[in-house]
Structure 1
Amino acid sequence: MTGRPCNTFVEGDNLDVLRSLAPGSVDLVYTDPPYNTGNDFAYADRFRAADGARAGRHGAWVEMMRPRLEAVRDVLSDRGALFISIDDNEAARLRLLLDEVFGEQCFLAQVVVNLNPKGRQLGNGFATSHEYVLVYARDPRRCAVDASSAEHVDEGDFPLTAPDGRRFRHLPLRNTNKKFNPITARTLHFPLYGDPVSGRVASAAFDGAVEVLPVFGDGRPAVWRWSAPLVDERPDDLVCRTIQGKLGERVDVFQRDWLHRDGGRRKKLRTIWPSEEIGSTDTAVAELKDLVGHVFESPKPTGLVRRILGTMPSDVTVVDPFAGSGTTGHAVALANAEDGGTRHCLSINWPEPTRPGSNADLAGLPTVAAITRARLTAVDARLGGGFSELPPHSPAP
């Protein structure tokens, strides 16, 4: 990717553009398609139901999305993944469609995203405050998604301090999952030897040591999380202690779980992403307004996309087939500026007309594609990284 700009934009039908890309050339697709709220959407393909009748509103939306998701699947590399935003209007149908196109085994997560913490006050019923992001791998065995983050590691979870100043906590070396036991994991049920006075642990007996077998709290046999060779390889990361268990006092073995100050430690991401962490629709509007004005009603916050980018390597090729206001390209530029990454984003948008008399129309932006172009141009002027535009429907470089 050396020499490519951070952002590339192409105006046109995303189906044509996706089909022009080389198979396996994309690592990450994030997109925010039209949600089918009952209004007409720009990609009005003439799909028909199997019986020849005009498909209903939901059916037409699914059949509009189907070939585009198939094209996304085809351009994703083996390490690639799709993250796709959706709300309750089509979430259930999109999940089924993705299971069909990618395969159920490729499903990674359905994330709840809190983009409107106050809740939508218009209309009847509940004040909806969330949407979803569905996550699918191209190949779950090779997918590069790391669903963790260094930002959510809490130093308070590591209350102990070593003489050299490093923080740590004690974790049982015993596997606490009862699915793993001497029947299901026979090779991990063996005695260790420990001295609860000195704390020393080894796989072989030594002076002052007592034999320690892994047991659950109720006394049933358990297994260790480490093999005997790993115990011998990392003895300083283990400690023998006397504890008070349910059945009385006993000796057990614990792992010293270190908090690494170099940022190497990561914590699994939960499947609920609050607005305090990833931004909201309000912050997204403010981000866009700061660059090109209040010209788009419901953009996504860059924090949402940056969290997604954080699950992938810093050299990924990103595509957003429904680029909207250009949030994905903006987030890629921000991420590259922060960590020196070489991510490249291709944003695709159809020249859907903006509403006459709207802020966008009054600002001289007659189409949504013009909004995308204006934002990515402004992003390049502010953050650098480069911006280029391809002729409609031509393949990416």
Structure 2
Amino acid sequence: MGVWNTFVEGDNLAVMQGLAPGSIDLVVTDPPYNTGSLFSYVDDFRGADGGRAGRHAAWVDFMRPRLEAMRAVLAPTGALAISIDDNEQARLRLLLDEVFGEHNFLAQVVVNLNPKGRQLGGGFATDHEYLLVYAREARSCLLDARTSDTVDPADFGLRTDDGRAYRRLPLRNTNKKFNPVTSPSLHFPVWGDPESGRVATTPFEGAVEVLPVFGDGRPAVWRWSRPRIDERPDDLECREIKGRQGARVDVFQRDWLESPGGRRKKLRTIWHSEEVGSTDTAVAELKQLVGHVFESPKPTGLVRRVLRTMPADARVLDPFAGSGTTGHAVALLNAADGGSRTCLSVNVAEPVRPGSNADLAGLRTVADITRARLRAVAEHVGGGLEER
């Protein structure tokens, strides 16, 4: 097993330009949000005129070559997940459409990182940020937006005699675009016994003929073909229901909680703090390893959710590594599921604020914080650390 984490101190643009094209599967990163604070890259994006418009234009100029470099190092099957807040969300979305292509947009996720909402200043109590997700090439991207995290066992409240949990799904196709005219091969009778629950494509004793119909009685079609029904009779169930026009017999699929390959559900585009963590839990995670030395780290739960959308051997890059959350998340997930993910974290030697907790702890730059955290991760979680 190789080293899980690698850390490079330096300008991320130069580092990425030195990487082999297509050598990265997933970029997860949290760039500067352009809040007007100082930022120690050579191409400082505060703007020559010091005004808001100048800062926005300079920030875009700063990000463009870095996004181009991120795209260049991604494999054709790879993806990018990048965090941002309202200061530059609109401009970043347009910039990503330009660099990656609008057709490679996958999602704009709203992340509830501050459930209490920010109480300082006027206006609304902002409690969210965004995660923009783009594919390198949407048609070949390996990102799978299904997860076991959001599966609720309470949704599977039925039990077979041997104790297996399931729920009932209509076997008929509920989408009215699919009907006997558009899908004639899927409109056929089946036979079912509402007493025993048995379903078959041919008549049997005690069975009644069942045709697929919509709730208003109009003809519908099944979701399964005849051969599939014959292959999976135990996954079907016949029962009597009360429809709009009175009682009738219908056929349902038994959708099992414990399905082959594991139960997975598509991720929604609003992620709550109780699911992925908050700024408070992120501070606690970092404090446990190296102390309270970073003002606004991301929770590892957020990054772990992103990591789970890609294969367990993904090569991950975080060019704005900050406190080192991505590398920490990679190690935690590898330790949990036996994966072999690797993470390259890059950070510039940006000075910390004089008198800050980091400064008092002897950490002079943000790169020092990244390095300290990843060293602690290697010691407490495992996977080692290579420093360049």
Indicate whether the TM-score tops 0.5. Answer: yes
Indicate the residue corresponding to 2:310 in structure 1.
Answer: 312
Cα distance change on mapping 1:199 and 1:315 into 2, 3 Å: same
Measured in 1, the distance between the counterparts of 2:209 and 2:288 equals 66
Match for residue 28 of structure 2? 30
Answer yes or no: is 1:232 the counterpart of 2:230: yes
Cα deviation for residue 118 of structure 1 reads 0.9
Trace 1:134-213 onto structure 2 (pairs within 5 A).
134-213=132-211
Task: Report what 1:241 is aligned to.
Answer: 239
What are the Cα deviations for residues 149-204 of structure 1, in whole angstroms up to 9, with x where unaligned? 22322222112111111111111001112232233333322222223333222223
Q: Say if 1:44 and 1:90 are closer, same or farther in 2 by CA, change over 3 A.
A: farther
Deviation string for 1:311-341 (max 9, x for gaps)?
2221111100100000100111111111111
Q: Cα distance 1:366–1:182, how it changes in 2: closer, same or farther (>3 A)? A: same
Aligned CA distance change for structure 1 residues 225 and 283 (closer, same or farther; 3 Å):
same
Aligned-residue sequence identity (percent) comes to 74
Aligned to 1:260: 258
DSSP-derived class of the 1:190 partner: coil
**Aligned with 1:215 (options 209, 213, 218):** 213
**2:340 is aligned with what amino acid?**
T
Instruction: State the alpha-carbon separation in 1 of the partners of residues 192 and 260 from structure 2.
Output: 31
Tell me which residue corresponds to 1:330.
328
Name the residue aligned to 1:395.
Answer: none
How many equivalent pairs are there? 384
| Aligned-pair Cα RMSD in Å | 2.1
TM-score between the two structures when normalised by the length of structure 1: 0.92
CA separation in 2, counterparts of 1:38 and 1:286?
Answer: 26
Q: Corresponding residue for 1:389?
A: 387
Change (3 A) 1:147 1:11: same
Partner Cα separation in structure 1 for residue 97 and residue 141 of structure 2: 17
CA 31–8 in structure 1, closer or farther in 2 if over 3 Å, else same: same
**Conservation of the 8 A alpha-carbon contact between 1:9 and 1:389:** yes
3-state DSSP class of the match of 1:152?
Answer: coil
Describe the shift of the 1:156–1:378 C-alpha distance in structure 2 as closer, same or farther (beyond 3 A).
same
Aligned partners of 2:66 and 2:31: how far apart in 1? 11
Shift of 1:368: 0.8
Structure 1 segment 18-167 matched on structure 2, within 5 A: 18-45=16-43, 56-167=54-165
Q: Which amino acid aligns with 2:347?
A: N
Q: 1:379 to 1:182 in 2, by over 3 A?
A: same
Q: Is the 8 A contact 1:322 1:347 kept in 2?
A: yes
The equivalent residue for 1:366 is: 364
Cα distance between partner residues in 2 of 1:321 and 1:358: 24
2:224, 2:57 → 1: CA distance? Answer: 52
Distance 2:202 2:20 in 1: 57
- Paired residue type of 1:69: L
The verdict on how the C-alpha distance between 1:381 and 1:194 changes in structure 2, with shifts beyond 3 A counting, is: same
Give the Å deviation of 1:44: 4.8
Q: One-letter code of the match for 2:379?
A: A
**1-side partners of 2:142 and 2:113: how far apart?**
26
Change in Cα spacing, 1:213 to 1:261, as seen in structure 2 (3 Å) is closer
- Name structure 1 gaps, 5 residues minimum: 391-397
Amino acid in the other structure paired with 1:278: V
Task: Tell me the secondary structure at the aligned position of residue 10 of structure 1.
Answer: strand
- Look up the SS of the partner of 2:194 in the other structure: coil
Shift of 1:221: 2.0
Q: Counterpart of 2:341 in structure 1: which amino acid?
A: R
Quick one: distance in 2 between partners of 1:83 and 1:46? 23
Greater mean deviation of Cα atoms: 245-254 or 55-64: 55-64
Q: Give the aligned residue type for 2:373.
A: R
Answer yes or no: is the 8 Å Cα contact 1:43–1:64 preserved in 2.
no
Which is further off, 336-345 or 74-83?
Answer: 74-83
Question: Which of 250, 271, 277 is residue 279 of structure 1 equivalent to?
Answer: 277
Match of 1:376 in 2: 374
- 1:57 is matched by which residue type in structure 2? R
Distance 1:21 1:271 in 2: 32
Contact 1:150 1:263 in 2 (8 A): no
